[in-house]
């Protein structure tokens, strides 16, 4: 297998406006974020010959999505694909970009996405399967509530553990001018927040976010000529599995994402102990607990104490979700995490900068949690100076 | 007044035997003709051995609660009036797990591991949904 460790880099990152922004199109957000990533990289638009785009969550009949994004940007790429891994697409598209460049298909790749939660001109289709939706089991949130239930049942996590994550992320968001949720919250506020899908509370959940994000991947060699210090891609991995309902069998020990972690750390040649800053895919707080175990930072019985001890805060041993995460910055489908990871590596994060951040883990998670069987993709990147 | 109807199953060749059985008051799933694995959701082939040989066997209808949640904020307008309602994952005696609803049990009384049995909720002349209640 080709050793891609450090051969490629993320050289530009950008997000569009984001928040509650009805009226902006999915394409509009995609183009805005892409233009900003291109400008951030200081790369010529015409130098981009690869375009990878996440399939919009609300798709309708949008054929040729990635090629259309390229057309609107005035690019005729030699490699392009629309990728369908939901929140795992951001890290997965960076990994795919590396492979495509290494194969000689292209030399510089734009990876991007956008979500408009209320798109115009798109046939709305209800997510979910015949084996779930008729029971009022709709959307990703119900599976995540089941995951929290099983985490608490199997490992004894208390609501205070989940609450501490939400409070910590909010403290980070208060140091991020772009974050959507900047009002301080306390653990008591968390414990009093209403049930959305019990055992998930409102403050376990990220806000629905309209917006887009993008990044540019090219070789380290070319990166040296560009505007900003490159964030080298040291490791990448992905894995895909069903959750709770497994058509192949019913293994109680299943812990999704462990293969992605082994691949990413293995390629990078580092261990969880070496990581200086992490961006965990946190559409809901139980995801953070899951990733702390799946990525090898803690054993299941250590996670509670690890969180309670403040290790995830900016001054802790593993500063995480430093821009506020999906939960407080906004649901940018993991592209926010890549942007933040790159900025931490560059040292651009101002009041939330982690000192001497040399290695950053970024995780992704998503796909079809609302289908039968609930099926999700895990992806990860290790970024470094 | 314009009412939003609850979404109902739209059976396919793969799934019709499951829904047809439910209409007759039976819980049936596919058992692999080669390796014996009982699978769910319905599929053309066995995810364990890829065999297409199968038989739709009648299950005991008994199982235990694997997980349950209570939806307070509905994600679909047709279910708004039902909140708070439970969505429960039942692990059947034969192995498979399925998403369903527990009936005749207060939401705050549900616990993981409770013994449950299937009941059939006739929605209309074409659709019956398997649900579960505490084992009697």
SS3 for A324-346 is CHHHHCCCCCCHHHHHHHHHHHH
What is the three-class DSSP state of A25? coil
Structural domain count, chain B: 2
In this structure, the answer to whether residues B45 and B67 fall within a common structural domain is no
- pLDDT band for position A123 (cuts 50, 70, 90): low
Task: Provide the domain limits for residue B104.
Answer: 60-136
Residues B127 and B64 reside in one and the same domain: yes
Question: Residue A48's pLDDT band (boundaries 50, 70, 90)?
Answer: very high
Are residue B74 and residue B134 in the same domain, yes or no?
yes
| CB-nearest partner of B85 from A136, A200, A247 | A136
Of B29, B31, B49, B46, which Cα lies nearest the Cα of B98? B29
Query: Can you list the domains of chain A with their CATH numbers?
Result: 8-120+210-223 (3.40.47.10), 133-205+234-384 (3.40.47.10)
Whether the bond into B41 is cis, omega within 30 of 0: yes
Contact (Cβ atoms closer than 8 angstroms) between residue A109 and residue A101: yes
Identify the bridge partners of residue B68 per DSSP, sorted by sequence position: B88
Please indicate, yes or no, if residue B101 is contained in any of the structural domains.
yes
If asked whether residues B65 and B54 sit together in one domain, one would say no
- Which residues in chain A have their CB less than 8 angstroms from residue B127's CB? 134
The verdict on a CB contact (< 8 Å) between B99 and A139 is no
Q: Which H or E run contains A275?
A: none
H-type alpha helices, chain A? 26-41, 65-72, 89-103, 140-155, 159-173, 187-192, 220-223, 258-268, 286-294, 303-308, 325-328, 335-346
User: Looking at the structure, do residues B81 and B117 belong to the same domain, yes or no?
Assistant: yes
Across the interface, whether the CB atoms of B75 and A138 are under 8 A apart is answered yes
CA Rg value for chain B: 16
Closest CA to A51 of A63, A66, A64: A66
Residues whose CB is less than 8 angstroms from the CB of residue A325 and which lie 6 or more positions away in sequence, other chains included: A169, A172, A173, A206, A279, A280, A282, A337
Q: Same domain, yes or no, for B18 and B32? A: yes
One domain for residues B54 and B91? no
pLDDT 10s digits, A310-353: 999 999 999 999 999 999 999 999 999 999 999 999 999 999 99
Same domain for B25 and B73: no
Interface of A with B in 194-253 (CB under 8 A): 194-200, 244-250
CB atoms within 10 A of CB A7: 16
Q: How far apart are CA A157 and CA A167, in angstroms?
A: 16
Q: Is B91 among the domain residues?
A: yes
Contact A9, A108 (CB under 8 A): no
Most B CBs within 10 Å, among A134, A196, A368, to test the B interface: A134
Q: Which residues contact B12 (CB under 8 A, 6 or more apart)?
A: none
Neighbours of A244 (CB within 10 A): 20
Query: Is the confidence at residue A126, as pLDDT, over 80?
Result: no
Question: pLDDT digits over A266-318, tens only?
Answer: 999 999 999 999 999 999 999 999 999 999 999 999 999 999 999 999 999 99
- Domain membership of residue B88 (yes or no) is yes
What does pTM read for this prediction? 0.97
CA–CA distance, B42 with A247 (Å, rounded to integer): 9
Mean pLDDT, range B13-32, rounded to an integer: 97
Confidence of residue A252 (pLDDT cuts 50, 70, 90): confident
Instruction: Tell me whether residues A197 and B70 touch, CB distance under 8 A.
Output: yes
Which residues of chain A does B71 touch, with a Cβ-Cβ cutoff of 8 Å? 136-137, 142, 197-198
Q: Which residue of chain B is at minimal alpha-carbon distance from A138?
A: B75
Q: Do A130 and B15 touch (CB under 8 A)?
A: yes
Q: Strand, helix or coil at A17?
A: coil
B8 in a domain, yes or no? no
Q: Is there a single domain that holds both residue B134 and residue B69?
A: yes
Concatenating the DSSP letter of every residue in B9-32 gives: ----TTTHHHHHHHHTT--EEEEE
Structure tokens, A54: 């996440």
| Residue B118 forms part of a structural domain | yes
Residues A138, A126 contacting (CB under 8 angstroms): yes
Q: How far is B136 from chain A (nearest CA, A)?
A: 23
In a domain, B129, yes or no: yes
Q: Judge if the upstream peptide bond of residue A122 is cis by omega within 30 degrees of 0.
A: no
CATH number of the domain residue B129 falls in? 2.40.50
B32 and B49 fall within a common domain: yes
Say whether both B36 and B83 belong to one domain.
no
- Of the pLDDT bands very low, low, confident and very high (cuts 50, 70, 90), residue A253 is confident
A106, two tokens: 């292209």
Does the distance separating the beta carbons of B8 and A134 come in below 8 Å? Answer: yes
Rg (CA), chain A: 19
Per cent of chain A over pLDDT 90 is 88
Indicate whether B66 and B128 sit together in one domain. yes
CA distance A26 to A343: 25
- Count interface pairs A-B at CB distance under 8 A: 112
| Residue B44 resides in a domain | yes
**Per the domain annotation, does B1 fall within a domain?**
no
Nearest chain A residue to B79 by CA distance is A136
Is residue A7 classed as helix, strand or coil in its secondary structure? coil
Nearest Cβ partner for A146 among B40, B69, B127: B69
Q: For residues B90 and B67, give the distance between their C-alpha atoms in angstroms, rounded to a whole number.
A: 7
Segment A83-98, tens digit of pLDDT: 999 999 999 999 999 9
């Amino acid at each position: 297998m080709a050793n891609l460790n450090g051969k490629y880099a993320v050289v530009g990152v950008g997000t569009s406006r984001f928040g509650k922004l009805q009226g902006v199109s999915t394409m509009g957000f995609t183009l805005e974020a892409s233009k900003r990533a291109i400008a951030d990289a200081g790369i010529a638009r015409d130098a981009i010959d690869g375009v990878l785009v996440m399939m919009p969550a609300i798709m309708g009949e949008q054929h040729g999505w990635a090629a259309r994004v390229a057309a609107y940007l005035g690019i005729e790429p030699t490699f392009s694909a629309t990728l369908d891994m939901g929140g795992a697409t951001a890290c997965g598209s960076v990994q795919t970009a590396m492979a495509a460049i290494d194969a000689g298909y292209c030399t510089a790749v734009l990876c991007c996405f956008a979500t408009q939660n209320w798109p115009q001109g798109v046939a709305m289709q209800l997510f979910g399967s015949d084996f779930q939706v008729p029971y009022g089991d709709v959307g990703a949130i119900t599976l995540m509530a089941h995951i929290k239930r099983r985490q608490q049942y199997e490992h004894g996590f208390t609501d205070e553990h989940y609450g501490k994550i939400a409070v910590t992320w909010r403290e980070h968001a208060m140091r991020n001018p772009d974050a959507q949720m900047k009002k301080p919250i306390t653990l008591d506020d968390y414990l009093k927040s209403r049930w959305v899908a019990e055992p998930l509370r409102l403050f376990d959940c990220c806000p629905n976010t309209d917006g887009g994000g993008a990044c540019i991947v090219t070789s380290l060699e070319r990166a040296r000529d560009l505007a900003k210090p490159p964030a080298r891609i040291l490791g990448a991995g992905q894995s895909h599995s069903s959750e709770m309902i497994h058509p192949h069998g019913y293994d109680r020990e299943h812990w999704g994402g462990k293969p992605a972690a082994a691949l990413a750390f293995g390629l990078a040649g580092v261990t969880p102990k070496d990581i200086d800053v992490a961006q965990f895919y946190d559409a809901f707080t139980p995801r953070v607990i899951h990733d702390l175990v799946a990525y090898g930072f803690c054993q299941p019985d250590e996670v509670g104490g690890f969180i309670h001890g403040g290790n995830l805060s900016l001054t802790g041993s593993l500063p995480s979700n430093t821009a506020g995460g999906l939960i407080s910055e906004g649901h940018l489908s993991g592209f926010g995490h890549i942007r933040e990871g790159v900025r931490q590596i560059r040292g651009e994060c101002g009041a939330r900068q982690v000192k001497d951040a040399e290695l950053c883990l970024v995780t992704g998670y998503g796909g079809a949690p609302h289908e039968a069987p609930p099926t999700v993709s895990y992806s990860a990147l290790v970024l470094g100076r | 007044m314009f009412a939003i109807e609850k979404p109902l199953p739209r059976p396919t060749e793969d799934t019709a035997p499951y829904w047809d059985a439910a209409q007759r008051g039976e819980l049936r799933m596919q058992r692999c003709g080669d390796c014996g694995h009982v699978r769910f959701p319905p599929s053309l082939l066995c995810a364990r051995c890829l065999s297409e040989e199968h038989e739709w066997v009648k299950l005991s209808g008994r199982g235990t609660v694997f997980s349950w949640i209570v939806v307070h904020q509905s994600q679909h307008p047709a279910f708004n009036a039902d909140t708070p309602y439970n969505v429960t994952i039942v692990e059947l005696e034969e192995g498979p797990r399925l998403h369903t609803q527990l009936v005749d049990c207060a939401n705050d009384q549900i616990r993981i591991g409770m013994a449950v049995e299937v009941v059939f909720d006739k929605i209309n002349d074409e659709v019956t949904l398997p649900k579960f209640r505490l084992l009697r």
